[in-house]
Amino acid sequence: MSGMPRFLQTTLWFFAALALAGCGHSNPYYDASKPHHTAEGFRNNTQPAPNGGRHFWRWQWERRMQGLPKPPAKGYPVVASVTPELNFLQHNRQQATVTWINHSTLLVQLGGLNILTDPIWSERASPISFIGPQRHARAGIAFDDLPKIDAVVISHNHYDHLDADTVDRLHARFGDDLHFFVPLGLKPWFNDRGIDNVSELDWWDEARLGKLRLAFTPVQHWSQRTLWNRNQTLWGGWWLQADRTRFFFAGDTGYADDFKTIRHRLGAPDLAAIPVGTYEPRWFMGRHHVAPDEALRIHQDLGAKQSLGIHWGTFELSDESLDRPPKDFLAARAAASVVPESFYLLRHGETRRFGSH
pLDDT digit string, tens, across residues 222-245: 999 988 889 999 999 999 999 999
Mean pLDDT value of segment 157-164: 98
In this structure, is residue 190 part of a structural domain? yes
Which pLDDT score is estimated for 9? 45
- If one compares 192 and 53, the residue with the highest pLDDT of the two is 192
Q: Give the domain CATH number at 344.
A: 3.60.15.10
Residue 72: inside a domain, yes or no? no
Q: Is pLDDT larger for residue 41 or for residue 79?
A: 41
Phi, psi of 143 (to 5 degrees): -55, -45
Instruction: Name the pLDDT band for 77 (thresholds 50, 70, 90).
Output: low
CA-angle at 158, arms to 176 and 238, nearest 5°? 60
CA angle 25, 287, 269 (to 5 degrees): 100
Give the mean pLDDT of 96-102.
Answer: 98
Let me know if residue 295 belongs to a domain: yes
The sign of the torsion formed by the CA atoms of 208, 121, 141, 308 equals negative
Residue 96 has pLDDT above 80, yes or no: yes
Does residue 167 carry a pLDDT above 50? yes
CA atoms of 220 and 202, how far apart (whole Å): 14
Q: Are strands 105-110 and 198-201 parallel, antiparallel or unpaired?
A: unpaired
As a dihedral over the C-alpha atoms of residue 13, residue 16, residue 18, residue 23, rounded to 10 degrees, the angle is -120
Question: Residues 6 or more apart from 103 whose CB is under 8 A from it?
Answer: 118, 120, 125, 160, 310, 311, 312, 313, 314, 315
Q: Which H/E stretch holds residue 87?
A: helix 86-91
Query: Is 80 exceeded by the pLDDT of residue 154?
Result: yes
pLDDT in tens, 119-153: 999 999 999 988 999 999 999 999 999 999 999 99
pLDDT category at 50 given cuts 50, 70, 90 is low
Give the span between the Cα atoms of 93 and 148, in whole angstroms.
11
21 touches 228 (CB < 8 A): yes
Record the pTM: 0.92
Residues contacting residue 113 through CB under 8 Å, at least 6 positions apart: 150, 151, 209, 210, 211, 212, 242
Establish whether the linkage from the previous residue to 69 is cis, with ω within 30° of 0: yes
User: What's the confidence (pLDDT) of residue 65?
Assistant: 94
Distance CA 106, CA 119 (A): 7
Burial of 66 (0-12, 13-18, 19+ CB in 10 A): exposed
> Helix, strand, coil % (nearest 5) of the chain?
25, 20, 55
Q: Please give the residue that has the higher pLDDT: either 258 or 22.
A: 258
Domain range holding 253?
86-353
For residue 170, tell me if it sits in a domain. yes
Distance CA 353, CA 97 (A): 4
Is residue 214 assigned to a domain? yes
- If one counts the domains in the chain, the total is 1
Strands (DSSP E) along 192-276, which ranges?
Answer: 198-201, 206-209, 212-217, 237-242, 245-249, 271-275
* pLDDT value of position 253: 97
Res 254 pLDDT > 80: yes
Query: Is residue 28, in this structure, part of any structural domain at all?
Result: no
For the segment 190-200, the average pLDDT, to the nearest whole number, is: 98
pLDDT digits (tens, 9 = 90+) for 287-339: 999 999 999 999 999 999 999 999 999 999 999 999 999 999 999 999 999 99
